[in-house]
């Protein structure tokens, strides 16, 4: 969840740079894919600890 909040803050910063555009469509999927990628990495690391 920390990573999701981090990505949301990045998307928010981008939206401040480009007001008036539909940022959910442009950046939403990219942010989601980045988040899922991080989650996969975290899952692998946690399995290695066990």
pLDDT digits (tens, 9 = 90+) for 5-47: 887 777 777 666 555 556 566 677 777 788 888 888 888 887 7
What pLDDT score was predicted for residue 5? 81
What pLDDT score was predicted for residue 15? 61
Q: How far apart are CA 13 and CA 26, in angstroms?
A: 14
Residue among 7, 46, 2 nearest 27 (CA): 7
- What is the CB neighbour count within 10 angstroms for residue 38? 15
What pLDDT score was predicted for residue 16? 63
């Amino acid at each position: 969840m920390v990573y999701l909040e981090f990505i949301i803050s990045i998307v928010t910063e981008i939206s401040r740079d480009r007001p008036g555009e539909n940022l959910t469509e442009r950046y939403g999927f990219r942010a989601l894919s980045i988040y899922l990628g991080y989650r996969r990495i975290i899952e692998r690391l946690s399995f290695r600890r066990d």
